[in-house]
Structures are given as structure tokens and as C-alpha cells.
Amino acid sequence: MLSNYLKVAFRTLWKNRTHTLINIVGLSVAFGTGVLLFLTATFELSYDTFHTDSDRIFQIYFLSSNRDGTPDRGSTMPYPISPALKAEFPEIEGVTRWFNRTAGIRRNDQTYTKNVRMVDADFLQMFTFPLRKGNSKTAMNSLSDIIISETMAKDIFGTEDPVGKPLQLRISDNWQTFNVTAVANNAPKNSSFDFDALIRSENAGDYALNKGRWDVGNHDVFIKLKPGTDPQTLQRRTQATMDKYFASDFKNRQEQGFPKNRLGFQRSLLFQPLSSVHFDTEITHGLGISRTYVFTLLLVGLFILAIACINFINLTIAQSLSRAREVGVRKSLGAQRGQLFGQIWGETLLLCFAALLLGLGMAYSVLPTFNRLFQSQLTIADFLQPIVLAITFLGFLVITLVAGGYPSWYVTRFNAVEVLKGTVKVSRPGLLRNSLIVTQFTIACLLIVCTVIVRQQITYLQQKPMGLDKEQVISIPVGNELNGNEALKAIRNRLSNQPNIVAVSGSGVNIGAGLDGSSNRMMFGFAYNKRDVLCDWLRIDTDYLKTMGIKLIQGRDFSPGFSTDSSTSVLITQSMAKQLGEANPVGKYIKPDQKQFQIVGVVSDFNLYSLHQEAKPIALQMQTNDPVRYVLIRVNPQNLTGAMDIIKTAWKTIAPKQEFIGSFLDENTERWYKREERLSNIFSAAAGIAIVLSCMGLFAIALLTIQQRTKEIGVRKVLGASVFSIVGLLSKDFMKLVIAAIIIASPIAWYAMDKWLADFAYKIDIEWWVFAVAGLLAITIALLTVSFQSVKAALMNPVKSLKTE
């Protein structure tokens, strides 16, 4: 019996090989794409779930309101808040600070640059990072203890046991000795905390100065609650602590007219569950990823699978006339309906299984390209996990039931007598077929619109003027081995006679995402004439305005001729002058960080960070105690490659043991928007696949429809119908369905993209022509697909058409 079923199945599939090929190709592409997208989304959703007590771990953040009433969330914390919370709330089991920093490491005259994070002693008890060597309870007892990762141990010590060995770390321009007390497993790929080494947070260079100050923050804080503690209740209780330590700040904000937050206070301390940290793009300083992106991956995968299933259902139902005769004969010979269902559904199972194998093979073969295009980290091991295999198998069964179950039931319900008499009508298009075609093209149109709008936004962000000239400027990270001020002076001397070098300066902040992968920001809030002022505090050096192409509006630039410029002078941007309420602020004094500075000049506004956020007012200063972290060099545009080689050679004389990782600022700023670029790539690829699959299905449906109307076409030609009129007759019904899809997709796409654009401070307006172009593209593609078969049918000899049975 089984061999007979298989023989009939293979014969049926071969007889309808065009439709079989369309189904196999469509389903295999859908399976392969779906597996890749689902694995990527699953990986993102698994972030930080490996911690044993992840449900009891929270990141704390401040919630206040801006002047316009919008919420202001910030995770940067002052040093005293960690010991205060642990002392005042017994419900808190552990507290740790987290400094996301790098440091230079030296052993036996060999230096390395590693991610050395500063934490508190509770860190290893709060998070699940197992130690390969050492004791987690005592590994961070001393300020000179250091825990290193397995990879770092191999890089520095090789096969030697590192525990008990000394290492030197460069902290605040000084080399300090630390002792290795433990070796930790490498942090998993799905961890929000990545590190090569861990040391105590008290080693931070500004700890002694700021450990008692509640008005200076520079790190994140995580807490772990004791079992049975209600986080919401504890969160409400922390308001008393906020009122005690921030009383003067609250009073100033109230006097200046700042509205209260949604909880009814000037500022509150809230708890963010660890499971949500990876998906918060605001309090993670832009390092998080939006849940919208993750669910978009899942949705796109479901869309593509849905289109492939729709093709299968439509083709099977469209072929129902030929199968109905087969069913009628089998029923007349005694076949039961269950047997017939099993036979027809078995063909679906066979076809889907072949498509699944092809799809998995395709996914494996394109995995390197997929990882590169979408910045994913999938490996073959991710495919072979038992849970992944189980979900894949379950999904396969669901799809075969959905795609093959209904058509099998539909065909087997025909009455044998009516079929054999030829009185059954099964060829007319029904509501289900039309609805499925509309659904296909709705998805395709939706993805086309999203692709266009995302591309527009990326282009807008990359081309929007930033208030500075980012072209022909090279940024060189100083690194942890050099003194930034001395390195800047040395490179200036070596490049002073080079005709390709226009200007050289330095900064504490890079523009864009440099190759060092590091970012930092310092902000100060202070009062000025009863006004609350918040500004970015930017360390620069002489010639910064010239190097960056920033305009001087009032006053003067920094100059070596003024000794006070390196200690008590500042430049400010126009927006900061406006915030101060001064039309001519030159000569006025401000007092951030308990120190008085005189304003010597006003410069035009410029964007120091990405355009996801609105530009903040900026104060530019030259205090020598603040390090220069980046050397900035403007070069002539005529010979960019030659200039880069000259700079690289000069840098090697300054830092012979350090890797040169200079980059152009315009490339750095493009890396700001790599998430959007990745989303655009996904939409583009998904739109292409959706259109191709939809057209394949439409082509097959059109072919079957025309075959069923062959005699009608012949009669019309005999009666004088033109080729154009016949093509229009055969195409108009499909065009109506595509137009309906455009009408349905447009408002959905507008709503989705409007929500996505809300995350940007600077964004495009959604134009009507985007929907018109997407609709016109869908109509053109559908018309070409249908017209190919329509023209072929219209040109057929009517005598041959009328002979068709």
C-alpha cells in the first residue's frame, strides 16, 4: 500500500512538474530564510537569560521630565548611590557598579589593549560567570586583584598558569601592578556584559575625588534582590532616599519650572529588569537593540513562509479539477475518504520534506554571507541544538498541515457521481484564492514601502549637515599606552612640514564609531542666573575648529598665546548661549563642577553624537588634566591615500608597539547607523524574496486559469477579439487583486514606519509618492507576470484552442 502511494505521488508530482518545481523552490527558499531569521531573533531574545537569578537582577535608572514634559531616562549613576542602597535596603542582596572601559596591559615588556571592566565585589555573586580557576567569593577581595578571561589568559600567559602572576595596568596615565586571582570562562555571545578582565571599581581614577559627590555620575549600577522581594514595592520605597540625597537638586528644578515625572516626583529611581536591558536603546547609551527589530525578523520570516504556503494552497486548489476526476474514480473503486486524504496529503509531506532539506542546505551555504550582511553571529552549532531541531520539526508539521491539509480536504469532498458525470464545477476562482493572492501582494507591497522609507532615512542621516565638515578628517585613537597630550604634540611636530596636512588637533570624544569600538561622554548640569543648564563637556585642543570645519560666531578661538585657555577658558555653542539666556555671552562666567570658567567664544552648533538624539549644547575646554583620547588630522583631498600612509608612518614612530587604527570620520559616522543599515538589508532581501515568490504563485495560477479558459479564448478570437483585448480580459481580474493589496498595505506601512521613525530626533517626512511607487512597482511586476501567459494564449491558433478538451 505504501509503495503504491509513493509511486502515485511521484507520478503526480512529475506530471505537474512545473507546479511542483514552483512549490519546491518557494518552500525551500521560505524554509531556509525562515530558519535564518528565526535563529537570529531567538539569539537576540536569549540575551542574559543564562544567569541563574536573572529574574532578580535589575539595572537602576533615573526618571525625570524635560521642560516640554517628555520623559528623561538616564542610567549614569553617582558613586555614593551603590553603598547607600545596600546599606538602607536589606532587601538588596548585591550591588555592583559597571564601568565599560578599556585599559593597556603590560607583562614582560609586551603590551596589550584589553576590555578591562571595573565592578564591585558582588559582581560574581550576582551574575553567572563561572570561574575555571580561583574562588568567586575571594577573587576580588583586594583592590589589586584582577580576574581575567580564558581568552586573555591564553593571549598573555599561553599555557602557563596565570593565577598568582602579576600584571601591570595603565590607569590614569600610571602603570599599576595587579595580581591575577582567577580565570573566568569567556562571556557568552548573548551577554550584555563583555570583558577581558575585571578589577574593583575603586581603581577608577576619579574615585577618590567623587566618591562622596551625588552630582557627578559616570557609570551604570545593577542590583540583585533577595528571593521573595517585590521590585515594585521596593522601587516606591527608594523615593525617600532620592528626596534625602537630591533635595537641593529637586528644589532647583521646581523653581525653574520643570514638570514632575509620570510618578509625580521631580526624579525617581526605577528598576529595569535584566531581561529588558539588551532591548533598551536609551539607558544603554545606544548599545541596545530595539525589540521592534527582533520582532520584525520574526514577522518577516512568517511573511515569507505565509507566501510560500499561499502559493501551495492556491496551486493545489487550482488543480482540483484534474484531481477531482482521479478522486471520483478511486471512490467508485471503494477508496475511503481518509485513504484519499492520506494519499494527497502524503504528496504534500513528500514535497515539503524535499523543500525542507533543500532549504536547510541553502541556509547553511549562505550562512557566512548572512552573518556579514546582517552582522549576525550564527554558527552551525546553532542549527544543531535540540530545541532548534524540535521547533524546526514542529514548524515543518504545522506548515504541511496548513499547506496540504485544506487542499486535501477540499479535493476529497467531491461527489464521485457528479465528478464522473462531469457536472461538478471546481474551476471558478473563489473567495479563498482571491483572498490569498491579495494577502501575498499586501505583504510584498508592505515590505517594498518599508524598504524605501528605511533607505530614505539612512540616506537622510548620512547626508544631513552636522555643523562640521567630516570629510577628509582622519581620527586616530590614542589608546591606553600613550599620554594623549604628549602624543598630540609629537604627531604635530612630525607632520608640521607635510604639504598634505591641513590641520592637527585633539579631542576627548571621537566623531562617529571609530575602529577602536570605544565611546565616552561627559555632561555637566549647573545653574546659571537661576537657569538650569545641561551641556556636553568636550575636551579639545588648539586648531579644533579649523580641523573640524566649525564656524566661530563670536569672540575668539583657543590660542597658545593665552595661558588661561588651558585652564579656565571655554568656548560654547550657540544653543548653549541660548540656554544661558545671553545674546552676547563672551566674557561671562559659568561654574560647572564647582570651578569657574570664562566664555571666550561662541561657535556654531554641531552634532557630537548620532542623529538618533537631538544635539545637546556643548562647552569646549582645554584643561590639561582631561586626557586627549583622539588625534584628529585634516588632510588635502587630492591625495587621501598618500596622506594616510604619511600619517601611519609618523604614528609608528610615536607608538611602535601599538596597532594603527586610524579611520576617516565620514566612515565613522556611517557606522553610527549600522543597525538601520541591517534593518534595511533585511527589508530589501525580504521584499525581493516576497515579490519573487508572489510572482511565481501568480504565474502558476495564471497558467492554470488560462488553460481552463482555452476554449473561451478560441471562441473570442473567432468572433474577432484582438490580442490586446484578450490580454486585458485575462489580466484585469488579477490587477484588481493587486490594487486591493496596495490599498490594504499602504496604511499599515505608514503606521509601522511612523512608529519606527519616532525613535529619531531628526527624521524624514513620509511622502505620498513612496506608496505610489510601491504600488506601481507591484502592478508592473504582476502585469508582466500575467501578461507573459496571456499573450501566449491570445496568439494561439483558435482552431487548436477549440479542439482542446
For the chain, the average pLDDT equals 81
Highest mean pLDDT pick, 157-171, 382-396, 405-419, 656-670: 157-171
Q: What is the mean pLDDT of residues 232-253?
A: 88
Q: Are residues 533 and 569 in the same domain?
A: yes
CA-based angle 214:215:221, to the nearest 5? 60
Closest to 156 (Cα-Cα) out of 118, 122, 116 = 116
pLDDT at 599 over 60: yes
What is the distance between the alpha carbons of residues 718 and 713, in angstroms, rounded to a whole number? 9
Q: Which amino acid is at 651?
A: W
| H/E segment holding residue 182 | strand 174-184
pLDDT at 431 over 60: yes
pLDDT of amino acid 427? 45
Q: Are residues 216 and 143 in the same domain?
A: yes
Least confident of 89-93, 400-404, 632-636, 691-695: 400-404
pLDDT of amino acid 318? 62
DSSP assignments along 46-96, one per residue = TTTTTSTTGGGEEEEEEEEE-TTS-EEEE--EETTHHHHHHHH-TTEEEEE
Q: Are residues 39 and 72 in the same domain?
A: no
Q: What is the mean pLDDT of residues 583-609?
A: 87
Q: Is residue 240 part of a domain?
A: yes
pLDDT of amino acid 98? 92
Instruction: DSSP letter for 401, please.
Output: I
Cell numbers found for residue 805: 478538451
Q: What is the mean pLDDT of residues 263-274?
A: 90
What is the distance between the alpha carbons of residues 21 and 213, in angstroms, rounded to a whole number? 71
Q: Are residues 215 and 239 in the same domain?
A: yes
Q: What is the mean pLDDT of residues 174-202?
A: 90
pLDDT of amino acid 321? 56
pLDDT tens digits, 367-422: 888 887 766 777 777 777 777 778 778 877 877 777 666 666 666 666 655 555 55
What is the distance between the alpha carbons of residues 490 and 647, in angstroms, rounded to a whole number? 12
What is the distance between the alpha carbons of residues 101 and 98, in angstroms, rounded to a whole number? 9
Cell numbers found for residue 717: 478570437
What is the distance between the alpha carbons of residues 290 and 276, in angstroms, rounded to a whole number? 10
Q: Is residue 698 part of a domain?
A: no
At what angle are helices 768-794 and 723-757 packed, to 10 degrees?
A: 150
What is the distance between the alpha carbons of residues 267 and 246, in angstroms, rounded to a whole number? 9
Closest to 683 (Cα-Cα) out of 459, 452, 462 = 452
Q: What percent of the chain has pLDDT over 90?
A: 19
Q: Is residue 406 part of a domain?
A: yes
Q: What is the largest CA-CA distance in the chain?
A: 107
Which pTM was predicted?
0.73
Q: Is residue 442 part of a domain?
A: no
At which residue does the C-alpha cell 471558478 appear? 428
Per the model's pLDDT, the better-predicted residue between 19 and 687 turns out to be 687
Q: Are residues 666 and 547 in the same domain?
A: yes
Q: How many domains, the chain?
A: 3
Q: Is residue 653 part of a domain?
A: yes
Q: Is residue 726 part of a domain?
A: no
At which residue does the C-alpha cell 602557563 appear? 160
For strands 552-555 and 597-603, give the pairing: antiparallel
pLDDT tens digits, 561-587: 888 888 889 999 999 999 888 889 999
Least confident of 174-188, 191-205, 228-242, 421-435: 421-435
Q: Are residues 23 and 60 in the same domain?
A: no
Q: Are residues 185 and 96 in the same domain?
A: yes
Q: Are residues 613 and 528 in the same domain?
A: yes
Highest mean pLDDT pick, 334-348, 538-552, 725-739: 538-552
pLDDT at 489 over 80: yes
Tell me which of 671, 688, 707 is where a domain ends. Answer: 671
Q: Are residues 544 and 421 in the same domain?
A: no
At which residue does the C-alpha cell 525542507 appear? 356
pLDDT of amino acid 330? 64
pLDDT at 491 over 50: yes
pLDDT at 517 over 80: no
pLDDT of amino acid 570? 92
pLDDT of amino acid 690? 78
pLDDT of amino acid 185? 92
What is the distance between the alpha carbons of residues 577 and 583, in angstroms, rounded to a whole number? 7
361's CB contacts (< 8 A; 6+ apart) are 32
Q: What is the mean pLDDT of residues 66-79?
A: 82
What confidence category does residue 271 fall into, taking pLDDT thresholds of 50, 70 and 90? very high
Q: Which amino acid is at 135?
A: N
602's CB contacts (< 8 A; 6+ apart) are 552, 553, 554, 555, 571, 572, 573, 574, 577, 585, 586
Residues 319-323: contacts with CB under 8 Å, at least 24 apart: 319/16, 319/19, 319/704, 320/407, 320/410, 320/411, 320/426, 320/427, 321/426, 321/427, 321/708, 323/411
Q: Is residue 82 part of a domain?
A: yes
pLDDT at 356 over 80: yes
Q: Are residues 539 and 573 in the same domain?
A: yes
Q: Taking a C-beta distance cutoff of 8 angstroms, is the pair 781, 687 a contact?
A: no
pLDDT of amino acid 327? 63
Based on C-alpha coordinates, what's the Rg of the chain?
34
Least confident of 83-87, 182-186, 712-716: 712-716
pLDDT of amino acid 326? 64
Q: Is residue 759 part of a domain?
A: no
Give the N- to C-terminal CA distance of the chain in Å, as an integer. Answer: 33
Domain of 302 in residue numbering reads as: 1-47+290-427
179's CB contacts (< 8 A; 6+ apart) are 142, 144, 145, 146, 164, 165, 166, 167
Least confident of 217-231, 255-269, 516-530: 516-530
Q: Taking a C-beta distance cutoff of 8 angstroms, is the pair 542, 560 a contact?
A: yes
What is the distance between the alpha carbons of residues 786 and 441, in angstroms, rounded to a whole number? 14
pLDDT of amino acid 234? 93
Q: What is the mean pLDDT of residues 479-500?
A: 83
Q: What is the mean pLDDT of residues 538-552?
A: 91
Q: Are residues 418 and 553 in the same domain?
A: no
At which residue does the C-alpha cell 580641523 appear? 547
At what angle are helices 674-708 and 710-718 packed, to 10 degrees?
A: 70
Query: Half-sphere exposure (CA, 13 Å, Cβ side) for 331?
Result: 19
Q: Are residues 547 and 494 in the same domain?
A: yes
Q: What percent of the chain has pLDDT over 70?
A: 86
Least confident of 107-121, 246-260, 280-294, 762-776: 280-294
Tell me which of 620, 645, 671 is where a domain ends. Answer: 671
Q: Which amino acid is at 41?
A: A
Per the model's pLDDT, the better-predicted residue between 195 and 700 turns out to be 195
Cell numbers found for residue 78: 553617582
